[in-house]
Amino acid sequence: MQSSGRIPKHIGIIMDGNGRWAELRGLPRIEGHRRGAERTKEVSRAASELGIRVLTLYAFSIENWQRPSLEIMALMKILEFYLRNEMKEFMEKGIVFKTIGERERLPDTVQDIIREVEEKTALNPGMTLVAALSYGGRNEIIRAVKKFMQTGVSPEEVTEESFSQCLDTAGLQAPDLIIRTSGEMRISNFMLWQGAYSELYFTDTLWPDFSKDEFLLAVQDYQRRERRFGAVPAGIHAP
């Protein structure tokens, strides 16, 4: 790993491929989600140890509500189990837990444990772990527009900075790197505003097989890139 100055401050991960992983092995899809939850623990620990300041995991999209009800119920149970069991480690590692998305659509029991974990970890000094739950980038922008309009702001007062404060991610910097597993090369409605200048890393690896080592490879790939944000490459002078 190169110098700490090249470590991304914020990484977002589109955790894709749980269902396919299970189907390839002749297992129920929910077993893929269970294995995916285990992988989440490993990658979150690796990110914290590496000094990542924010890790955002695309855990359950708004579109996922269209899945069979039994699969959704099982996913909610896995989420609840994960949060209850990870509370101790969050406190030991100083991790702050947050969520983005329309969490009011989640079951009451899940909302309750989310609220409990957020409150207990709020003052921790370490990495912020953000779970995108019932989340969609377009939905987030629409909700932010409505919130912004309610402030009575005039068109002349609208800026990128002021609008950003109405997004779910207010107070968090934009992701430097977005990783997507499973071979799909799209961002699937994830952090559309925040990811405007994010570096993208795609891998064919299905999420349950995405190990700490591959996570580190993604970070190393990021370190080799030059982020210009629309400027010319270093050493080249514009006419």
- Quick check: is 16 catalytic? yes
Establish whether 64 is a catalytic residue. yes
Its pTM stands at 0.93
For residue 218, which amino acid is it? A
Q: How many domains does the chain have?
A: 1
Domain-embedded: residue 167 = no
Domain around 198 = 4-136+176-223
- Residue 235 within any structural domain of the chain: no
| pLDDT grade for 27, boundaries at 50, 70 and 90 | very high
Q: Which of 18, 64, 108, 221 is catalytic?
A: 64
**What CATH number is associated with residue 181?**
3.40.1180.10
Residues 6+ apart with CB under 8 A from 98: 118, 128, 129, 130, 131
**pLDDT tens by residue, 46-80:** 999 999 999 999 999 999 999 999 999 999 999 99
Q: Looking at the domain assignment, is residue 155 inside a domain?
A: no
| Two structure tokens written together for 64 | 């996922």
The mean pLDDT of the chain is 94
The candidate with the shortest Cα–Cα distance to 127, out of 61, 49, 229, 16, is: 49
Q: Do 170 and 130 touch, CB atoms closer than 8 A?
A: no
Instruction: Please name the residue that has the structure tokens 């591959």.
Output: 214
For the chain, the 3-state helix, strand and coil shares in percent, each to the nearest 5, are: 50, 15, 35
Residue 227 confidence (pLDDT): 78
Whether 92 maps to a domain, the answer reads yes
